[in-house]
């Protein structure tokens, strides 16, 4: 899929920034005036998401390459740094971006405990963060990690490593797989089909595009030992 797929489908939402572009694109998220930049960073190509609304910004998952993140938010007031979860590949630029921006860090308390990360505020299920141009709602979706969260705004969602087009995020145990599938069934797949989701690695898709494969997977019996990198088909 190309960088413009969302634009074709839902009218222009975001920009995937893979090079060293200096000029910021300014595409709009429908039903809000937020701009979403996706920066694949570091050796695991972890997606850092930058939301910009008016003169404010939020950095989600400062994965690596802090200079590129700071260039993306230049000229804005960084209101917060948020983590979808505490895995190492999502936080390698955390200290540098935190120090340079002075912005407070928010993450779910379960991942703060799991990974020994000291935040400035908690991200709990149902919390709403306000940004110029639109609100973000926190959805707790445990499974990949105990404190994994998704962030919804407009008809988009940043989902971390909870959902990929081809399957759920990595699960360390069968219990964790059951938990992530419950999070997907009870929360993520209750969102409208036209919700565009942006995962922690690679390209996103829409809830509607993945729903048939998800529902077929859920309807099939599976081994009680199944876990790891599970695919829908
Ligand atoms: Zn992860
Ligand atoms: Zn990851």
Could you read off the pLDDT of 151-181 as tens digits, one per residue? 999 899 999 999 999 999 999 999 999 999 9
Q: Can you give the pLDDT at residue 10? A: 30
- Kindly give the distance from the C-alpha atom of residue 55 to the centroid of ligand 1, in angstroms, as a whole number: 30
How much is the average pLDDT of 100-126?
Answer: 98
Average pLDDT taken over every residue of the chain: 89
CB 16 within 8 A of CB 40: yes
Confidence of residue 29 (pLDDT cuts 50, 70, 90): low
- Whether residue 69 contacts residue 62, with contact meaning beta carbons closer than 8 Å, is answered with yes
Dist. CA 132 → ligand 1 center (Å): 29
Cα 203 to Cα 224: distance, rounded to the nearest angstrom: 30
Distance from residue 54's CA to the centre of ligand 1 (Å): 30
Question: Predicted confidence band at 122 (pLDDT cuts at 50, 70, 90)?
Answer: very high
Q: Grade residue 131 by pLDDT with cuts at 50, 70 and 90.
A: confident
Q: Is the predicted pLDDT of residue 18 greater than 80, yes or no? A: no
Smallest-distance ligand from the CA of 114: 1
Report the separation in Å between the CA atom of 180 and the middle of ligand 1, taken as the mean of its atom positions.
12
Determine the distance separating the centroid of ligand 1 and the alpha carbon of 187, expressed in angstroms.
Answer: 19
Which ligand sits closest to the CA of 89?
Answer: 2
Beta strands in the chain (DSSP E): 14-16, 35-41, 46-53, 56-60, 77-82, 105-107, 121-122, 128-131, 134-140, 149-153, 156-160, 163-164, 167-168, 196-199, 205-206
Give me ligand 2 centre to Cα 143, in Å.
13
Pairing type for strands 46-53 and 35-41 reads antiparallel
For residues 37 and 47, give the distance between their C-alpha atoms in angstroms, rounded to a whole number: 10
Do the Cβ atoms of 207 and 189 come closer than 8 Å?
yes
Question: Alpha-carbon Rg of the chain, whole angstroms?
Answer: 17
pLDDT at 19 over 70: no
Instruction: Give the closest ligand to the alpha carbon of residue 200.
Output: 2
Is the alpha carbon torsion for 137, 141, 146, 149 positive or negative?
negative
Half-sphere exposure of 150 (CA within 13 A, CB side): 29
Give the residue from 94, 92, 67 showing the smallest Cα distance to 82.
94
| CA separation, residue 96 to residues 38, 49, 62 (Å) | 19, 16, 9
Q: How many Cβ atoms sit within 10 Å of the Cβ of residue 100?
A: 15
Q: Report d(CA 65, CA 45) in Å as an integer.
A: 11
State the pTM of this model. 0.89
Cα-Cα-Cα-Cα torsion 42, 147, 165, 188, nearest 10 degrees, comes to: -150
Domain boundaries, the chain: 15-219
pLDDT, position 8: 27
Cβ atoms 200, 150 nearer than 8 A: no
Ligand 2 centroid from CA 100, angstroms:
23
Q: How many CB atoms lie within 10 A of CB 217?
A: 17
What is the architecture of the domain spanning 15-219? 4-Layer Sandwich (3.60)
Ligand nearest to the CA of 148: 1
14: confidence class by pLDDT, cuts 50, 70, 90: low
The mean per-residue pLDDT over the stretch 190-214 comes to 96
Query: 131 CA distance to ligand 1 centroid (A)?
Result: 26
If you measure from the C-alpha of residue 87 to the centroid of ligand 1, how many angstroms do you get, rounded to a whole number?
A: 5
């Amino acid at each position: 899929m190309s960088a413009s797929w969302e634009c074709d489908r839902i009218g222009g939402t975001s920009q995937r920034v893979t090079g060293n572009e200096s000029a910021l694109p300014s595409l709009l998220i429908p039903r809000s005036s937020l701009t979403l930049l996706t920066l694949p960073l570091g050796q695991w190509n972890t997606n850092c998401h930058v939301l910009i609304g008016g003169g404010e910004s939020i950095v989600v998952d400062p994965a690596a390459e802090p200079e590129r993140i700071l260039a993306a938010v230049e000229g804005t007031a960084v209101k917060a740094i948020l983590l979808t979860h505490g895995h190492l590949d999502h936080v390698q630029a955390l200290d540098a971006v935190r120090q340079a921006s002075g912005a407070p860090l928010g993450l779910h308390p379960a991942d703060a405990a799991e990974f020994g990360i000291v935040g400035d505020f908690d991200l709990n299920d149902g919390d709403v963060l306000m940004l110029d141009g639109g609100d973000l709602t926190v959805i707790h979706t445990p499974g990949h990690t105990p404190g994994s969260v998704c962030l919804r705004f407009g008809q988009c969602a940043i989902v971390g490593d909870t959902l990929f087009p081809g399957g759920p995020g990595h699960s360390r145990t069968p219990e964790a797989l059951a938990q992530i599938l419950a999070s997907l069934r009870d929360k993520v797949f209750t969102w409208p089909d036209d919700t565009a989701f942006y995962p922690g690695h690679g390209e996103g898709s829409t809830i509607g595009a993945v729903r048939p494969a998800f529902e077929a997977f859920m309807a099939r019996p599976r081994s009680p030992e199944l876990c790891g990198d599970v695919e829908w088909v």
